[in-house]
Structure 1
Amino acid sequence: MLNFWLHCVARPIIISALLLSPSLAVASGLQVSPISLSLEARETASGLTLSNSGSNIVHAQVRVYQWLQNEKGDQLIPSRGLLASPPMIELKPGEKQLIRIIRAKAPPQGSDAVEDAYRIFVNEIPNKSGSQTTGLQFALSYSLPVFVQPVGVTKTSPQLQWSTHLQPDGKEVILRVSNSGNGRAQLASLSFIDTAGNSTVINPGLLGYILPDATMNWTLKIPPSALAAGGKFKVMMNGTQTTPDVTMDSSIR
């Protein structure tokens, strides 16, 4: 099982391979679109477009993992629920390639069904040919979320329960968010506004996802004293700004 931490919807991970000299950096031209996918229950396939905007040949591998969350956070398990075709590609400069993402098992179904979640990794394979002899070669890796909707549901939605918890050392506050809905929640742009109207940005970008039937914890990057006088949180949830109802730890006050 692969444990990882997600910082954005499609996270480019830079892997540098030292060739002969650090005096030259060779940037990869691998691009992936779109940055996320959602399949309706009736759909059997979707697609990603990989393109090469650079000046060198790009080789890439596409792998699929089931995405789960537990008390340890995000977990990835190799899965055959979705298949990528082709799983290996070669792109010449300026070329594009459609990667079909094929649903290989039945969609979630039943009165309590929730959407399935997957992660697709698109990994560039570093070029080891003799054509590149100097400098640093940067290989890109993309992590993209894919969601499969359950049968009989026109639209999934999250149902979140928020709470804060002061750590035993009294120096850190944990934000805990549980999702009892049938769809994921993507959280971003988290801030806290005190009773005087002063706003403190906690996380300006993507905070993370909470999948259905999961609970996630984040350590807040503000001191407990900043919350002591009361106030409210603001967050972008699935692209819409909202003010969640947060149960505050009474020991913070």
Structure 2
Amino acid sequence: MLVEFGPKQKIATVRITLSDQAIKPMRLQAQLLQWRQDLHGAPVTKPSEELIVTPRIAELKPGQQQVLRLALRGSLPAETERAYRLVLEDIAQPSSMDVGGGAAINFRMAYDLPVMVAPRGTIVSALRWRDCPADAAPRASKGVCVRIANAGNRRVKVQSVTVSGDGWQQALNLKEADAVLAGAEREWVVPATAMGPVRGVEVRTATGQVLRADPAGG
């Protein structure tokens, strides 16, 4: 599920329903986190006060529904799409699972939803690429390693990455589209048998759009 604010939207809602088949109530605690990415797409988060969510704690019994309201603070939206995560954690008494030998594992349910705030003005799609540094060579032993930066103002959902050189071309097709947030840089290793410098990089998005990346600094 994706929660998305339009460019002129200040409030969004999330509707949560606890199944009437649930065996016990839930007590959900909501937290909003600023969302960034590392080179491999793993989330890098920290608490954020740029949005507020109410209620912060919601009690749901089986069959009940709760509406959470998310609101922007200050002058948002900005020139560039903002990315957050809404984490809903069940803070009720944790469930336990008997693993034998008198031992048990306690666990809590948590839900993690992306929240995107659209940028003002025209959407700009722009990518930059560069070779991976020398210390990335072990990861690229079976292919060509490139880093692609999203220099546009909105996320790009990458379905495939194609690299080409003098007389050769190779593609990496992803099983699932992989989002690159605005301002983020991602690293991919494209399987390739050809040896030679990369001259060009193209990305095909989840919608079928083909974006040609410019060399970084070019």
TM-score, length-normalised on structure 1? 0.62
Superposition RMSD in Å: 3.7
Answer whether contact 1:157 1:184 (CA < 8 A) is retained: no
Tell me the amino acid that sits aligned with residue 81 of structure 1.
E
Q: Which of 124, 136, 140 is the matching residue for 2:109?
A: 140
The one-letter code matched in structure 2 to 1:102 is A
Paired position in structure 2 for 1:63:
31
Q: Deviations over 1:92-148 (max 9, x none)?
A: 112211110111222245xxx2222222112223534xxx67545653323222222
State the secondary structure of the residue aligned to 2:75.
coil
* Match 1:79 to one of 28, 40, 48: 48
Superimposed CA distance per residue, residues 67-104 of structure 1 (whole angstroms, 9 cap, x where no aligned partner): 24577975323111111111111211122111101112
Aligned residues: 200
What is the aligned partner in structure 1 of residue 127 from structure 2?
Answer: 160
- The code of the aligned residue for 1:123 comes to E
Q: From 168, 171, 182, give the equivalent of 2:153.
A: 182
User: How many Å separate the matches in 2 of 1:38 and 1:62?
Assistant: 17
Secondary structure of the residue aligned to 2:83 is strand
The answer for the alignment partner of 1:216 in structure 2 is 185
1:42: how far off? 2.9
SS of the residue corresponding to residue 64 of structure 1 reads: strand
Equivalent residue number for residue 82 of structure 2: 116
Query: Displacement, 1:37?
Result: 1.9
**Matches of 2:199 and 2:175, distance apart in 1:** 18
What secondary structure is seen at the aligned counterpart in 2 of 1:225? coil
| Residues 1:102 and 1:168: Cα distance change in structure 2 (over 3 Å) | closer
Preserved CA contact (<8 Å) 1:116 1:148: yes
Q: Which residue of 2 aligns with 1:10?
A: none
Is the contact made by 1:66 and 1:117 (CA closer than 8 Å) also made in structure 2? yes
1:116/1:192 CA distance change after superposition, 3 Å: closer
Structure 2 counterpart of 1:165, one-letter code: C
CA spacing shift, 1:116–1:61, aligned 2, 3 Å: same
Partner of 2:29, secondary structure, is strand
Partner residue, 1:241? 208
C-alpha distance in structure 1 between counterparts of 2:38 and 2:97, whole Å: 44
Preserved CA contact (<8 Å) 1:233 1:243: no
Instruction: Assess if the C-alpha contact under 8 Å between 1:236 and 1:242 holds in 2.
Output: yes
Q: What letter matches 2:68 in structure 1?
A: I
Q: Percent of counterpart pairs with the same letter?
A: 21
CA deviation string 1:202-231 (max 9, x = no partner): x312433221xx2412242x5443676989
Q: How many Å apart are 1:179 and its aligned residue? A: 2.1
Is the 8 Å Cα contact of residues 63 and 122 (structure 1) preserved in structure 2?
yes
Letter in 1 for 2:25: I
Q: 2:180 touches 2:186 (CA, 8 Å); kept in 1?
A: no
Q: Is the contact made by 1:67 and 1:75 (CA closer than 8 Å) also made in structure 2? A: yes
| 2:13 counterpart SS class | strand
Q: Structure 2 vs 1, CA of residues 169 and 83 (structure 1 numbering), >3 Å: closer, same or farther?
A: closer
Following TM superposition, by how much is the alpha carbon of 1:183 offset from its aligned partner in structure 2, in angstroms? 1.7
Report the counterpart of residue 73 of structure 2 in structure 1: 104
Q: Give the letter for the 1:86 counterpart.
A: P
- The DSSP-based 3-state class of the residue aligned with 2:9 is coil
- What is the CA–CA distance in structure 1 between the aligned matches of 2:136 and 2:36, rounded to whole Å? 30
Contact 2:87–2:110, Cα closer than 8 Å, also in 1: yes
